[in-house]
Amino acid sequence: MSVLPKSVENVITQFSRLPGVGPKSAARMTYHYLRSPNKDASKLANALIDMDENICFCSKCYNVSDKEVCDLCSNLLRKNSKLCIVEEPLDVVAFENSAIYDGVYFVLGGVISPAEGIGAEDLRFKQLKERADELLEELEDKKLEVIVATNPSLEGEATASYIHDIFEKNIKEGTMIVSRLAMGLPTGADLEYADRLTLKRALEGRRSI
Amino acid sequence: MSVLPKSVENVITQFSRLPGVGPKSAARMTYHYLRSPNKDASKLANALIDMDENICFCSKCYNVSDKEVCDLCSNLLRKNSKLCIVEEPLDVVAFENSAIYDGVYFVLGGVISPAEGIGAEDLRFKQLKERADELLEELEDKKLEVIVATNPSLEGEATASYIHDIFEKNIKEGTMIVSRLAMGLPTGADLEYADRLTLKRALEGRRSI
């Protein structure tokens, strides 16, 4: 006999499947709803159902969207001469919140990770190639800058090389420049605590002042 | 213009209302559902709705239950001569998982906490008195042991004294014994790192060996 009613156990199970949520936090989250007087559980439930029904992927950048073409891709003020490739939709949010980029995006949907069984065929490389070709088509000067903004992890690096290889022909033709986000010390970091690879990258990427 | 579609923002907002979930984790949790192919979002939504509809409080112990009287209160093997008072349903789970207690429970619904604006009138003291009287009625020898198992916090202590006061008449009459969980060093703890109050309590509660 379980101590908890089945329907409570179910919610705990569902919560504990979320990233970073252990069984204890899942139980706390569930009990929060049992305690809360103002139907918060059904608010979350309805929000989830609404999201499930209304969200699709933008047909151009594959970011999550509630339209066939997302607000960023349909925004005529964004420069279509720059294509920033990111892993996840949250990376787009990070860029947009920083207001430092005026081009368009492409969301790969992850990185190549043999350890997690994610191969190139699981990611949107085919769609990326198509999107890049489409942008090139639109550009008068036929020059597209591709900025690879995958995470500075082993997998992110491997994926960046893979992207480089995909566009090799374009790079040689001179129709594309493929760059990678700079690596080095983050603002406010303490040199003393920087890891070896970060220091190495910071040294390699040193700039004259 | 927000970067994220409204329905995604809604789910993030709902998640970030959960205890211990900040805006970043809420976003991660939401994106987990956007990525997951097997309709996990609707599984959580349905589990929440199901819980919302089927869960009530046991009319005897006020633990969460899917029946009017919960499995623990209706279990004839549990001794009704012992009443363990806890703050939250999860505390019942902790006791039951340890399989160290064979009496019945009463869930207060929190502790008196002036800082959080929770007064005695917000907790189930009236129902506790009624339940204790009901148990006394059932007992042939008219002797009930009340074990106060509120947390070892300032608020838990204050609530324990309050409970003691409620039952003062019964204690004087000799129909009730009110005890409090022992405080001291937890198993596996390091004396060196124990805080002053824990050490003080451990010393006060020392037992001959």
- Could A49 and B41 be called an inter-chain contact, meaning their C-beta atoms sit closer than 8 Å? yes
Instruction: Inspect the interface and report whether the beta carbons of A33 and B51 lie closer than 8 Å.
Output: yes
Instruction: Among B15, B44, B55, select the one facing A34 at the smallest CB separation.
Output: B55
| Beta-strand relationship, B64-65 and B79-86 | unpaired
What are the two backbone dihedrals, phi and then psi, of residue B25, each rounded to the nearest 5 degrees? Answer: -65, -40
ipTM for the predicted complex comes to: 0.73
Question: pLDDT by residue (tens digit) across B123-152?
Answer: 999 999 999 999 999 999 999 999 999 998
| Average pLDDT of the residues in A15-37 | 87
pLDDT (0 to 100) of residue A97: 86
The CA distance from B158 to B105, in Å, is 20
More confident residue, B15 or A90: B15
| CA–CA gap between residue A170 and residue A46 (Å, rounded) | 47
Residues of A in contact with B29 (CB under 8 A): 18-21
Q: pLDDT confidence of B1, banded at 50, 70, 90?
A: very low
Q: Tell if the CB–CB gap between A49 and B42 is shorter than 8 Å.
A: yes
Residue B90: pLDDT above 60?
yes
pLDDT band for position A196 (cuts 50, 70, 90): confident
- The whole-number pLDDT of residue A2 equals 66
State the count of interchain CB pairs (< 8 A) between A and B: 156
Q: Which of A20, A43, A50 is opposite residue B25, by nearest beta carbon? A: A20
Q: Work out whether strand B79-86 and strand B144-148 pair parallel, antiparallel, or are unpaired.
A: parallel
**What is the DSSP code (8-state) at residue A185?**
P
DSSP letter for B3, please.
Answer: S
CA distance A194 to chain B (A): 24
And the tokens for A103? 């081009």
Banded model confidence at residue A83, pLDDT cuts 50, 70, 90: very high
**Can you give the pLDDT at residue A1?**
47
- Domains assigned to chain B: 6-54 (1.10.8.420), 64-203 (3.40.1360.10)
Which residues in chain A touch residue B89, judged by CB atoms under 8 angstroms apart? 4, 31, 34
> Which element (helix H / strand E) includes A129?
helix A125-138
Q: Are B185 and B202 in contact (CB under 8 A)?
A: yes
Q: Which chain B residue lies closest to A67 (C-alpha atoms)?
A: B5
Q: Which residues, at least 6 apart from B205, have a Cβ–Cβ distance to it below 8 Å?
A: B182, B183, B184
B40 vs A7, A17, A35: nearest CB: A17
Give the closest of B8, B52, B65 to A55, CB-based: B8
User: Would you say residue A38 has pLDDT above 80?
Assistant: no
Give the rounded percent of residues in chain B with a pLDDT score beyond 70. Answer: 98
Of the CA atoms within 13 Å of residue B170, those in its CB half-sphere come to 21
Residue B90 to residue A15, Cβ atoms within 8 A: no
From the list B4, B43, B90, which residue is nearest A14 (CB)? B43
* pLDDT number for residue B2: 66
A125/B71 Cα distance (integer angstroms):
55
Whole-angstrom distance, CA of residue B72 vs CA of residue B134? 16
Going by the DSSP 8-state scheme, the letter that residue A113 receives in this structure is: B
Query: Which residue does chain A place closest to B25, by CA atoms?
Result: A20
Q: Which of A17-26, A69-78, B196-205 has the lowest mean pLDDT?
A: B196-205
What is the pLDDT confidence band of residue A37, given thresholds at 50, 70 and 90? low
Contact A42 B54 (CB under 8 A): no
Reported as a single tens digit per residue, the pLDDT across B151-183 is 988 899 999 999 999 999 999 999 999 998 888
Q: Which residue of A has its CA nearest to B92?
A: A3
Q: Say yes or no: B116 contacts chain A, CB-CB below 8 A.
A: no
Backbone angles phi, psi at B79, to 5 degrees: -75, 125
CB contact under 8 A, B18 and A32: yes
CB-closest option in B1, B11, B66 to A71 = B1
Mean pLDDT of chain B: 90
Interatomic CA distance for residues A195 and A179, integer angstroms: 24
CA neighbours within 13 Å on the CB side: how many for B109? 20
Query: Which residues numbered 7-66 in B keep a CB inside 8 Å of some CB on A?
Result: 7-8, 10-11, 13-15, 17-21, 25, 27-35, 39-52, 54-55, 64-66
Comparing A115-119, A165-169, A181-185, B155-159, the range with the smallest average pLDDT is: A181-185
Q: What is the residue whose two structure tokens read 């995604």?
A: B8
Q: Which residues contact A32 (CB under 8 A, 6 or more apart)?
A: A40, B18, B19
Nearest to B11 among A5, A13, A51 (CB): A51
pLDDT in the model for residue B38? 67
Min Cα separation B185/chain A (Å): 23
Please check whether residue B48 is in contact with residue A41, taking contact to mean a CB–CB distance below 8 angstroms: yes
Which residues, in sequence order, are CB contacts of B173 under 8 Å at separation 6+? none
> Residue A96: its chain B contacts at CB < 8 A?
3
- Cβ neighbours for A156, distance < 8 A, ≥ 6 positions apart: A87, A111, A150
Task: Inspect the interface and report whether the beta carbons of A47 and B20 lie closer than 8 Å.
Answer: no
pTM confidence score: 0.72
Sort strands A79-86 and A56-57 into parallel, antiparallel or unpaired.
Answer: unpaired
B93/A27 CB distance under 8 A: yes
pLDDT at site B200: 82
A37 or B29, greater pLDDT: B29
